[in-house]
Amino acid sequence: MKHAPVLLIHHGDTPLGEAVAQLACEHYRVAISGDDAFAGNQLCAQLHAQGREAMFLETRRGQSQDHRRNVDRILRRWQQLDVVINLPRHISVGPFEATSAGQWESHIQSQLMDTVHLCQSSLTALRHQHGGRILNVFVEYGLLPAPMTACQSAMGAAIKALSNSLYAELHDSGIKVSAVAIPLLAECSDHIEASDPLSAARFRRRASHTAARLDEVSRAIVAAIQCDGSLQITTPEIRNQWRQKRWFRRRWEDAIRRLGTRYRAR
């Protein structure tokens, strides 16, 4: 593994991050960043026990300097950085009017701006190497907005648009940037931030009934490293809904109106 490429997984201290790291460590030296030092160091210990190279880097919410420091630490240790995967840490759900201005600002900083800061910090290293890969992963609501997800849909859509713009801007430089849409997973339901208990219960129930599995989604994310496209969709269910929205818009809008009526009965 001495000359293997280096992969940075931001929010690698989540269940999805652990699954991605376990798959990627066969071909990459892995850096895990996140705000849960216990989970991150525990994952690194597991990888070390398997004979893999890994390190944990603590990153506080909304602290851009942490990303710059972490990239510098990776370069000092391994002299390169080849792939960056930015995973979602949490999602926000609840009625639009129940989401305060402070919550909007918090999510802008912890999701959108966190992605911006990570991309900026990584680009310096990737430009120096004349190539590399950035995957910005977002929950499906950024692609398929749903009732009670206004804040989360806005964050995901912004991350998708940012990634698409960087894809076009940087592609000829050898740096490939893609957005990756994933479903709401049961394993990640502990990180749902809801404005009220009913919204939390609804979306946790929805997560528990999803057809997608953690191993399926993690494999799709790792496979996306080799794909050259501005948008990668990880599951057939999201892909089918995306086609409905694009080609049968009226049918899709009817479906989300019915869902909105059920969630917000008058």
Overall number of domains in the chain: 1
**128 assigned to some structural domain:** yes
Query: What pLDDT, on a 0 to 100 scale, did the predictor assign at position 104?
Result: 93
The answer to whether residue 261 is domain-embedded is no
- Computed over every residue of the chain, the mean pLDDT equals 91
- The answer to whether residue 243 is domain-embedded is no
Give me the pLDDT at residue 16, please: 94
Please report whether residue 244 resides in a domain: no
Q: What is the pLDDT of residue 203?
A: 86
CATH number of residue 92's parent domain: 3.40.50.720
How much is the pLDDT for 188? Answer: 75
In a domain, 262, yes or no: no
What pLDDT is attached to residue 176?
96
| Residue 118 belongs to some domain of the structure | yes
d(CA 252, CA 244): 6
Q: What is the 3-state secondary structure (H, E, C) of 163-203?
A: HHHHHHHHHHHCEEEEEEEECCCHHHHHHEEECCHHHHHHH
pTM (two decimals): 0.93
Structural domain boundaries, residue 104: 6-236
Structural domain contains residue 259:
no
Q: Check residue 249 and give its pLDDT.
A: 87
Please give the angle made by the CA atoms of 122, 180 and 79, to the nearest 5 degrees. 25
SS (H, E, C) 69-87: HHHHHHHHHHCCCCEEEEC
Q: Residue 80 corresponds to which amino acid?
A: Q
pLDDT at position 265: 58
Structure letter (DSSP) for residue 9: E
What does the block give as tokens for 31? 């850096």
For residues 124 and 143, give the distance between their C-alpha atoms in angstroms, rounded to a whole number: 29
Q: Is residue 165 part of a domain?
A: yes
In this predicted model, what pLDDT tens digit does every residue of 162-212 receive, in sequence order?
A: 999 999 999 889 999 999 999 999 887 778 888 888 888 888 888 888 878
What is the mean pLDDT, run by run of 10 residues, along the chain of 266 residues?
86 94 95 92 93 92 84 95 94 90 92 94 90 96 93 96 96 94 86 86 84 92 94 94 90 87 70
